[in-house]
């Protein structure tokens, strides 16, 4: 028995030695595999992060500056040159709003529907908060405690003083001139009456086509209400020459400027400019030249916006 044990001992030792020689190789392979997997995970995470960071950039369209080409514009033939800038391809959606502001004020709910029921002050705050979230310099300086001396409204109780941070790269509202320049097709303009067409049905959601069935005749609120008119998912209609959607119809869009009759760039006023018409509005409101107006603290189910940035 003892002899058998002595005989088997060398065999056992040889097996142990062989196994111990193989272990480092397996450990080394496992280590390499783990490193590769970790590297792949890191690369994937970086790609995901990069994709997330570029989503917002991808929706911005570069608008090359110049003088107005669209003959239907209020600014055509005037000594006005627009600097290059970026503007959102779509109206700001409810999903985009909630990601920044945390709640949804809209009357018609849907991630891809344009946000509505937002005041001019609401969207100014959105621009700054989104800029901060994306690591950009906020475009606006907001003083909620100081009444704006240029605000002549009798109904606006807020009257925040909002000034521009010169050189900031953050999100902002387009000026009326920028909005009209982009809606009219910029340097690629074909002088359409509406943004992207002379046929309003191709490009705009408005009172006649934004409900259960097409309507006819003159504007009538009872008909609109009975037809269950509402906002539509952004980007369903035909884009304009620059690839911008819904600049005619769906929701009216806030601009930076004050509204004053006969003055296209007033330094003060009672109302802010809104452009483009909406699902409630008549056909005339969808023309790129139409100058809508609204109290800065006002909001409605057809009132939304899109953002822009410096070029």
pLDDT computed for residue 202 by the predictor: 98
Contacts of 269 (CB under 8 A, 6+ apart): 150, 151, 152, 258, 259, 260
Query: Do 124 and 173 contact (CB within 8 A), yes or no?
Result: yes
Give me the long-range contacts of 164-167 (CB less than 8 A, separation at least 24). Answer: 164/139, 164/140, 165/137, 165/138, 165/139, 165/140, 165/141, 167/137
pLDDT computed for residue 311 by the predictor: 86
Q: What pLDDT digit, counting tens, does each position of 243-270 carry?
A: 999 999 999 999 999 998 777 878 899 9
Task: Indicate if the pLDDT at residue 10 is higher than 70.
Answer: no
- Full DSSP string of 233-273: -TT-S---TTS---SSSSSEEEEEEEEBTTBTT-S-BSEEE
Q: 60-310 belongs to which CATH class?
A: alpha beta
Task: Indicate if the pLDDT at residue 304 is higher than 70.
Answer: yes
Give the dihedral sign, CA 257/259/260/262. positive
**Whole-number average pLDDT of the chain:** 86
28: enclosing H helix or E strand: helix 2-58
Q: What pLDDT digit, counting tens, does each position of 122-170 carry?
A: 999 999 999 999 999 999 999 999 999 999 999 999 999 999 999 999 9
């Amino acid at each position: 028995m003892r002899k058998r044990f002595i005989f088997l001992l060398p065999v056992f030792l040889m097996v142990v030695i062989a196994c111990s020689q193989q272990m480092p190789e397996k450990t080394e392979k496992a280590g390499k595999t783990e490193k590769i997997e970790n590297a792949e995970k890191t690369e994937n995470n970086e790609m995901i992060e990069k994709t997330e960071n570029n989503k917002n950039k991808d929706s911005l369209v570069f608008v090359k500056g110049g003088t107005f080409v669209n003959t239907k514009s209020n600014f055509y033939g005037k000594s006005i040159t627009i600097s290059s800038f970026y503007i959102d391809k779509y109206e700001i959606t409810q999903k985009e709003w909630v990601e920044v502001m945390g709640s949804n004020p809209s009357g018609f709910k849907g991630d891809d529907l344009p946000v509505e029921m937002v005041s001019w002050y609401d969207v100014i705050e959105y621009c700054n908060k989104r800029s901060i979230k994306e690591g950009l310099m906020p475009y606006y300086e907001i003083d909620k405690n100081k009444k704006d001396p240029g605000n002549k409204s009798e109904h606006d109780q807020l009257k925040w003083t909002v000034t521009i941070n010169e050189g900031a790269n953050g999100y902002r509202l387009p000026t009326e001139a920028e909005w009209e320049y982009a809606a009219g097709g910029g340097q690629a303009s074909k002088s359409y009456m509406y943004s992207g067409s002379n046929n309003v049905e191709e490009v705009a959601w408005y009172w006649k086509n934004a409900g259960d069935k097409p309507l006819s005749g003159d504007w009538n609120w009872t008909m609109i209400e009975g037809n269950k008119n509402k906002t539509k998912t952004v980007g369903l209609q035909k884009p304009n020459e620059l690839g911008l959607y819904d600049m005619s119809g769906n929701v009216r869009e806030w601009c930076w400027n004050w509204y004053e009759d006969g003055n296209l760039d007033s330094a003060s006023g009672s109302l802010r400019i809104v452009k483009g018409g909406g699902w409630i509005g008549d056909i005339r409101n969808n023309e790129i030249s139409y100058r809508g107006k609204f109290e800065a603290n006002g909001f409605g189910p057809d009132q939304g916006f899109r953002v822009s940035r410096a070029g």
